[in-house]
Structure 1
Amino acid sequence: MSSRGSVHAAVRSLVGAADIEVIPLKGAEEKVRAVPPGATITITCSPKFGLQRTLDHSARAVRAGYRVVPHLAARQVADEAELRAFVSRLAELGITGLYVIGGDAEKPAGEYSEAAEILDALAGMDHGLTSIGIACYPEGHPKIGDEALLAALHRKQPHAHYMVSQLCFDPGALAGWLRRIRAEGIALPLHIGLAAPMNMRKLAELSLRIGVGASIRYLSKQHGIVGGMLRGSSYRPEDLLLAMGDTLTDPQMRVDALHMFSFNQVDATVAWQQRIAGDTAAHA
């Protein structure tokens, strides 16, 4: 198979098996029904809704037949007792995966302020988790320097099984960052965080809100997002993957999966997933 053919095949495979992130808002349970049974759904957490909302939606998704990966924000966990209670509930539900982040709360609820502290605590527990994910930031973090981000990855790596990249629209930036951190000894498999297909205007608004303004400026320059907004165009997530080229298929880069930021546009995400998984080459 040619290099280009290998990339197309990898995109089809990655898209077909992608995880879909869902925000536990009102009506999310109905939206999730668009996802085929047996697929993986990740359930976010936020200071606004609290950990119990994440657990409640996770329980419903498990009962509906999905593989579920809840998010856990360190800054929302009050103490070790609450952490133990959270993972015990996951065990009761048969959930064996967890995605650990620092979280957006301005003030920590208790003794944990970053993901590494949660991972250290979990390492001393008999929790039954077999897959733990952490976040990574190809285009940096607005409040954390690049050296600190790399140090954090090194600290978290022994306790994690994979990393999920923050939303990015620049394939060159993503590929370059990935090669740099591999050279720095970060070997965790990467799940590429990818925006779901949606109206350009809405995507721009959401991206600026979550702090990826630099990447949305790249998208604007490369793809004419202003004109796209005026025409009501939609973003095509597959373009980023195809543009990564051989970096996507290089076994040393360990790109293992996709994490779709659906922003609860679940119907559109699933429709795109089903179309691209069997028709990527036609849209290259």
Structure 2
Amino acid sequence: MRLSVTRSDLDEAIGALVGNFSIEALPKDTQKFDDLRDHLPVGTRVYVAYTSGSTAEIVDAAEKLRHQGMEPVPHIPARRFASHDELKGFLGKLAARAAVKQVLLVGGDVARPEGPYAASLDVLRTGMLEGHGIEAIGLAGHPEGHPGVAREALRNALIDKCEYAAKVGLDVSLVTQFLFDTDKLFAWHADFVENAAPGIAVDVGLPGLAKMTTLMRFAKDCGVGASFGMLTRHAGRAFKLATSFSPEDTLLELADGVRKSGRPIFRSVHFYPFGSFEKTAEWLRGLQSQRPARGQPHLAEAL
């Protein structure tokens, strides 16, 4: 249900979440614009998704992002690399051409490994990341669980990755799968994250301004169909389901939960545009630029 609040502390919570937002992009998204600084604040972390195309496209995208003042964060899907040399070559190009310092390390969405890495921890243990100048890694978080991995296995893997990262001096953060149900998010953070990796930075994944048909497909594929279904049960949202999704309500609920906790539980929000990169970027830039001033609407009212 849409929140109706205008308190300054809620404004502060919203501002903290969107003040350092990050966004997902396909390599082709970055090639559509002459200058991304017209669409995103300088320094924005832009996660470059690993597509079925060549890794050259990802390197090109990361290089363009770096040259235009963004912080490129390429995906490194462990199971997609056929050999150590392939991964080494990819990391080398990212370092040489885009000065990449951060990556998102994931297992990869293929049933069988295409090479020597069965899990993201296998890539981490090679030492190649820090060997190529990587200083920070993002790991995937699953507030609604993983459709193919048991909760205890996820917990043990997170602990192992954090222990290795600490040993070699890599910063670690979690980027969650996109979600709609903030109650599940807060429960997951309290029960799973605080026990497995207390104090780790968490970026909350939210959908961008995507078409509902596209969002429904991704929700099913990513295992968040249950929380997506809750949208249809809320009065006042039915008409939205026939057109497009907007993250306003979920962001308000998230900020309100953070406000009530009395502490900055999450570092920021991370947006998955699902084909609406430009629209989502413009919406975020506009929201981020709004700072409550005397006589001006609160951020909560602007959403």
Partner of 1:29: 31
CA contact (8 A) 1:8 1:242 kept: no
Q: 1:41 to 1:244 in 2, by over 3 A?
A: closer
5+ unaligned residues in a row in structure 1: which ranges?
A: none
AA partner of residue 31 (structure 2): E
How far residue 112 of structure 1 moved from its aligned partner, in angstroms, is: 0.2
Q: Write the distance in 1 (CA, Å) between the matches of 2:235 and 2:76.
A: 35
Q: Write the distance in 2 (CA, Å) between the matches of 1:107 and 1:225.
A: 40
Partner of 2:12: 9
Q: Write the distance in 2 (CA, Å) between the matches of 1:202 and 1:172.
A: 24
1:141 matches 2:146: yes
- Across the aligned residues of Structure 1 and Structure 2, the Cα RMSD in angstroms comes to 2.6
Partner of 1:240: 250
Partner of 2:187: 176
How far residue 265 of structure 1 moved from its aligned partner, in angstroms, is: 1.2
Q: Write the distance in 2 (CA, Å) between the matches of 1:182 and 1:210.
A: 20
- TM-score, with length taken from structure 2: 0.82
AA partner of residue 149 (structure 2): I
**13-22 or 173-182: bigger deviation:** 13-22
- Counterparts of residues 160-199 of structure 1 (less than 5 Å): 160-187=171-198, 188-199=200-211
1:258 matches 2:263: no
CA contact (8 A) 1:78 1:109 kept: yes
AA partner of residue 237 (structure 1): P
Partner of 1:101: 106
Q: Write the distance in 2 (CA, Å) between the matches of 1:255 and 1:3.
A: 21
Give the secondary-structure state (helix, strand or coil) at the position aligned to 1:190. strand
AA partner of residue 165 (structure 1): T
How far residue 5 of structure 1 moved from its aligned partner, in angstroms, is: 2.9
CA contact (8 A) 2:121 2:157 kept: yes
Q: Write the distance in 2 (CA, Å) between the matches of 1:97 and 1:173.
A: 28
Give the secondary-structure state (helix, strand or coil) at the position aligned to 1:138. coil
Report how many aligned residue pairs link the two structures: 279
Percentage identity across paired residues of the two chains: 27
How far residue 120 of structure 1 moved from its aligned partner, in angstroms, is: 1.5
Partner of 1:41: 46
Q: 1:241 to 1:108 in 2, by over 3 A?
A: same
AA partner of residue 227 (structure 2): S
Give the secondary-structure state (helix, strand or coil) at the position aligned to 1:107. coil
CA contact (8 A) 2:40 2:285 kept: no
CA contact (8 A) 2:174 2:202 kept: yes
CA contact (8 A) 2:252 2:300 kept: no
**250-259 or 210-219: bigger deviation:** 250-259
AA partner of residue 179 (structure 2): C
Q: 1:18 to 1:106 in 2, by over 3 A?
A: same
CA contact (8 A) 2:6 2:301 kept: no
Q: Deviations over 1:61-89 (max 9, x none)?
A: 22333211111100112233222222222
AA partner of residue 195 (structure 2): E
CA contact (8 A) 2:88 2:128 kept: no
Q: Write the distance in 2 (CA, Å) between the matches of 1:57 and 1:157.
A: 28
Q: Write the distance in 2 (CA, Å) between the matches of 1:164 and 1:3.
A: 28
CA contact (8 A) 2:13 2:258 kept: yes
1:116 matches 2:91: no
Q: Write the distance in 2 (CA, Å) between the matches of 1:227 and 1:269.
A: 20
Q: 1:171 to 1:124 in 2, by over 3 A?
A: closer
1:61 matches 2:65: yes
1:18 matches 2:21: yes
Give the secondary-structure state (helix, strand or coil) at the position aligned to 1:30. coil
Q: Deviations over 1:175-218 (max 9, x none)?
A: 11111124413122101111112333432233224332112112
How far residue 91 of structure 1 moved from its aligned partner, in angstroms, is: 1.9
Q: Write the distance in 2 (CA, Å) between the matches of 1:82 and 1:251.
A: 46
Partner of 1:215: 227
AA partner of residue 60 (structure 2): D
How far residue 224 of structure 1 moved from its aligned partner, in angstroms, is: 6.2
AA partner of residue 20 (structure 2): A
